Amino acid sequence: MRVFTIIIGFVLLLSCSKEMPEDPFVFENPLLDLSIPTGFPEFNPAVYGNRPTTYGVELGQRLFHEPRLSGNNTVSCASCHNSGHAFADNKAQAVGVEGRIGLRNTPPIQNMAFMKFYNWDGHMLQLEKQVLVPIITHEEMNSSILEVIGKLSADTAYRHLFKKAFGDELITAERIFKSIAQYEYTLISANSKYDSVMRMEGAAFTEEEERGHHIFKEKCASCHSTALFTDQSFRNVGFPLNPSTQEAGRARVTGAAADYMKFRVPSLRNIAYTAPYGSFGQFIDLRALLDYFDKGVLPADNLDPILKSNGNRIPLSEQEKTDIIAFLGTLSDPAFIHQ
Amino acid sequence: MKKSKNYSVLGLSLLLLISCSKSDEPVANSMTLHFNNTFKDNTIILGSAASAEASVNTSASGQRHHFSELRYVISNIRLVKVDGSEMPYHIADLDKGAAVIDQSKPATLDFELTNIPSGTYKQIKFGLGVQSALNTLDQVRFPTFYAIAGANDTKMMWEWGTGYRFTKIEGFYGTDNQTLSIHTGSTVEGTESDPSSYVQGVDAYRDIVLDLSTHAIVGQNAPRITIKADFDNLLSGKTNTISLGDGNATPNVHTARNMTLYVDNLGGDGTTDLTGMFSISAVAN
């Protein structure tokens, strides 16, 4: 009984020290003003449940660049999502820890707040839920959320950042997911030359870009529509198939044969920075991609109806291809890339 | 300080007393579920492509096949008493209430349910797979199950979909031992009526309902219920007869394109067939 008493004494002592007054801390973390650029769609509803805050974003940005999110502390989100490539990379397929090759091409992270679907197959509808996937995937970061929480909790700087962002030092899975998503919500690209022309801010298309814009509206904009340059639909456009047996496109999610090898129509903003193109980097540059559409795509039962009705191709002259590529260059947003 | 010390000592003594009184209750409030994985009536022996020992089965369409790996997840266990009352067994806790049944690990074939109320039970219900609400790879809530399912020699996770694999079958078919690799799992999340939570996809979870012709009596003894899982149903099920080929034998079933055919055969179609490949072969009280 004596021993018990001593132990209890210790417990009481610990409890007491906990209640000692700490440095006065006032939880102040202003919401960031996230506005919808002209012509952009509404926010994904999840944004309203996780509005970016000053310190939430600061923490999220730090975590985004944190290699300790990976099992062997070598790979961060930014390793594949490189700001210089519109938060994608220039590899055909993503490369994770120990050089492991992923299934697909790294998607750019831009204008995520306006997207209804994430990933090439649209499996995720909320950005917060996506954060866990690369952390635990063998070919990406190969870690686990408890491993990550353990590493971050041992770091005073992080405990401080979590306190600033969420009011106390507790490092939880939800807070990690929320802060990284908050940072990604702020990655908005809406200041390209195209935007400047459309908003009549003084910039003007060159003749080549103007012709390209015209052809684009005629031959590309039925899928690459809206200010995001994607209608956010899923289509099979007959691109060469990924030989991996893991791949099925959208059918992996829905189980519908009609969705086999359909992928989300990509946004074309900052497209000049994100080569190679296609769900696993089938096309080395835009010219190769346009050549492929012009020459005629591979057949498929569920080939997009617009392509089917055009004889499985988008006929383009060499000059038209040059003009379209020039127009697509106006979707580059150098300030976004060099942030 | 002194006073609080005294109270603590009192509290401790009380705790000790309570612990003591607990152990006075009846001794056998447990039950074991034994899973016997078979082709028809014969327990499956796993084997590599060239294995001479592996159990070979022949499907309704005449395809010979055998397995090298065989795993599935059970969860959401409920025991029904003769009066119809239902005893849920840690249905919201995958660490305590779910298991990966792995034919290569004999210990996993017996799942012990503990601290079950005494009584006579006439029916058992369980799920093949994990219900959508718990199927999130939440390591924080369920670290034990997460570790078991994610182990390198188990691989019962779909990381891309933040969900568990419900069934993982690897093996060989046909005269030239082509690869078969059949994985099932859910991709659906949330509820359809709530667009902010709903992720469109396939629900591969199946509820299984099995009557105990011999009732299981918990209290005096610890009953052992042998549940047969007859994998002959994989290709020759009550719902679908499947012929393996290029489009459905290897992982494109991940794709869920053909997955539901297998799911319905193994776990029933969820409406008219609530047993699938499962049946009760013995209840030993």
Residue A221's pLDDT is 97
- Nearest by CB: A252 against B12, B143, B255: B255
**Interface touch B12/A45, C-beta < 8 Å:** no
| Rg, C-alpha atoms of chain B | 22
DSSP one-letter code for A116: S
Strand partners, A184: none
Do A131 and A176 touch, CB atoms closer than 8 A?
yes
Q: Inform me whether the C-beta atom of residue B97 falls under 8 Å from chain A C-beta atoms.
A: no
Q: Chain A: residue nearest B201 by CA?
A: A254
Residue B194's pLDDT is 74
Residue B254's pLDDT is 55
pLDDT in tens, B58-81: 999 999 999 999 999 999 999 999
Q: What percentage of residues in chain A have a pLDDT greater than 70?
A: 93
Per-residue confidence at B246, pLDDT binned at 50, 70, 90? confident
The b/e string for A267-283 (b: 16+ C-beta within 10 A; e otherwise) is: bbbbbbbbbbbbbbbbb
Per-residue confidence at A14, pLDDT binned at 50, 70, 90? very low
- Nearest by CB: A123 against B157, B187, B259: B187
Single-letter amino acid code for the residue at A297: V
- Nearest by CB: A252 against B189, B199, B254: B254
Q: Compute, in degrees rounded to 10, the torsion defined by CA atoms A245, B128, B103, A136.
A: 50
| Helix residue ranges, H only, B203-247 | none
Q: Chain B: residue nearest A171 by CA?
A: B140
Chain A residues lying within 8 Å of B159, measured CB to CB:
133, 136-138
**For chain A, what are the domain ranges?**
19-185, 193-337
Distance CA A96, CA A123 (A): 20
What is this structure's pTM? 0.88
Q: Provide mean pLDDT across the span A251-258.
A: 86
Q: What percentage of residues in chain A have a pLDDT greater than 90?
A: 86
Q: Chain B: residue nearest A3 by CA?
A: B9
Residues of chain A contacting B, Cβ within 8 Å: 1, 4-5, 8-9, 12, 45-46, 49, 103, 119, 123-126, 129, 132-133, 136-138, 144-146, 149, 172-173, 245-246, 248, 251-257, 260
Q: Provide mean pLDDT across the span A129-144.
A: 97
Distance CA A212, CA A198 (A): 15
Q: Provide mean pLDDT across the span A161-182.
A: 98
Chain B residues lying within 8 Å of A173, measured CB to CB:
138-140
pLDDT at A21 exceeding the cut of 80? no
Strand partners, B284: B224
pLDDT at A4 exceeding the cut of 70? no
Identify the domain containing residue B169 by its residue range.
28-284
Q: Chain A: residue nearest B161 by CA?
A: A123
Chain A residues lying within 8 Å of B187, measured CB to CB:
123, 252-255
Domain A19-185 and domain A193-337, same fold? Reply is: yes
Residue B256's pLDDT is 62
pLDDT in tens, A267-321: 999 999 999 999 999 999 999 999 999 999 999 999 999 999 999 999 999 999 9
Of the CA atoms within 13 Å of residue B244, those in its CB half-sphere come to 28
User: In this structure, which topology does domain A193-337 adopt according to CATH?
Assistant: Cytochrome Bc1 Complex; Chain D, domain 2 (1.10.760)
**Interface touch B8/A5, C-beta < 8 Å:** yes
Strand partners, B43: B38
Q: What percentage of residues in chain B have a pLDDT greater than 90?
A: 76
In this predicted structure, which of A17-31, A56-70, A254-268, B270-284 has the lowest mean pLDDT?
A: A17-31
Chain A and chain B share a number of CB contacts under 8 A equal to 102
pLDDT at B9 exceeding the cut of 60? no
Choose between A258 and B247: higher pLDDT.
A258
pLDDT at A10 exceeding the cut of 70? no
How many domains does chain B divide into?
Answer: 1
Q: Inform me whether the C-beta atom of residue B5 falls under 8 Å from chain A C-beta atoms.
A: yes
Distance CA B187, CA B163 (A): 7
Second CATH level (architecture) for the domain A19-185:
Orthogonal Bundle (1.10)
Q: Inform me whether the C-beta atom of residue B7 falls under 8 Å from chain A C-beta atoms.
A: no
Domain membership flag for residue B261: yes
Tokens for A156, please give them.
């005073």
Q: Provide mean pLDDT across the span B235-240.
A: 94
Domain membership flag for residue B272: yes
Q: Chain B: residue nearest A128 by CA?
A: B197
Domain membership flag for residue B172: yes
Residue B12's pLDDT is 46
